[in-house]
């Protein structure tokens, strides 16, 4: 099953029998600025207009637990996550389509969590809300309660030690901007740089100017140049397990399964005992 769906395909699915559940996960990594500008409010954006029938899901509250020693966006409490999914109408037997404001990061986080916890049919709207040409609505739907109960899989998840080992035994991709990987700037975490052995692979390079993923063949070629093959294990990390989920999604489009280090650099760099590499060289 393809991991993404185009806006025309989604319109057709919504008009057909057994339409998908729609989840709106608008989110941005933003902080209040010195000018006093408030941080991005995904719920307010949702209430101003969303796909008909879509239910808002709060990434910070429902797709992650509170920031702490395991990073800025640790795995959510599964009871909280499961309750949020059932409230949105998610059931095992119903397809799910997730979208966000266009960057794809928030939607990918929801996609990854649902897939990792056992949902068999989840896709991301390619290009997000800007790709949708149909009507929007402002009313908040009240779907029937779903039956989805998350059951984490044995594969697909890395911890810090697993990420370090994979950087030596397979391919560990760093989905952040290149300047953060090289340690030239670090606007958020304690120290800049990357996990020794990780390869720089900004996930922003997986999409075109319109926010849609590059064709699968181009993604295959890109990841091959980065050392990725279907014969060796692949893992991804980022700052806090959000943009990294977007790279895992891009790899899925390319036909390559990959694990996600959810704690990512925000967890790794918080421990002074863990090694840090800087510069363009993986080591």
Which residues are the active-site residues?
238
Give the Cβ contact number of residue 29 at 10 Å.
Answer: 18
Angle between helices 243-253 and 105-116 in degrees, nearest 10: 70
The secondary structure of 219-275 as a DSSP string is HHHHHHHTT--TTS-EEEE-SSSSHHHHHHHHHHHTT---EEESSHHHHHTT-TTS-
Give the Cβ contact number of residue 142 at 10 Å.
Answer: 9
Q: How far is Cα 257 from Cα 277, in angstroms, rounded to an integer?
A: 26
Give the Cβ contact number of residue 87 at 10 Å.
Answer: 15
Burial of 131 (C-beta count, 10 Å sphere; 0-12/13-18/19+)? middle
């Amino acid at each position: 099953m393809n991991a993404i769906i185009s806006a025309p395909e989604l319109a057709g699915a919504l008009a057909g029998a057994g339409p998908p559940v729609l989840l709106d996960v608008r989110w941005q990594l933003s902080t209040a600025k010195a000018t006093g500008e408030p941080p991005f409010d995904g719920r307010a954006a949702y209430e101003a207009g969303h796909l008909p029938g879509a239910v808002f899901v709060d990434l910070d509250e429902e797709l992650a637990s509170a920031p702490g020693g395991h990073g800025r966006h640790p795995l959510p409490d599964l009871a909280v996550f499961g309750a949020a999914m059932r409230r949105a109408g998610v059931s095992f037997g119903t397809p799910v389509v997730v979208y966000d404001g266009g960057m794809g990061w928030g939607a990918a986080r929801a996609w990854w969590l649902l897939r990792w916890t056992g949902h068999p049919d989840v896709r991301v709207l390619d290009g997000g809300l800007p790709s949708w040409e149909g009507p929007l609505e402002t009313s908040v739907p009240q779907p029937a309660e779903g039956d989805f109960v998350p059951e984490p899989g044995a594969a697909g998840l890395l911890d810090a030690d697993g990420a370090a080992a994979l950087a030596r035994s397979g391919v560990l991709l760093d989905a952040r901007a290149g300047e953060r990987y090289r340690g030239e700037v670090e606007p958020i975490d304690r120290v800049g740089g990357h996990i020794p052995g990780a390869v720089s692979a900004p996930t922003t390079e997986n999409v075109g100017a319109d926010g849609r993923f590059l064709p699968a063949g181009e993604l295959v070629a890109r990841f091959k140049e980065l050392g990725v093959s279907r014969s060796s294990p692949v893992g991804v990390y980022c700052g806090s397990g959000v943009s990294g989920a977007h790279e895992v999604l891009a790899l899925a489009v390319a036909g390559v399964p990959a694990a996600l280090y959810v704690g990512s650099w925000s967890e790794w760099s918080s421990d002074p005992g863990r090694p840090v590499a800087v510069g363009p060289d993986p080591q």
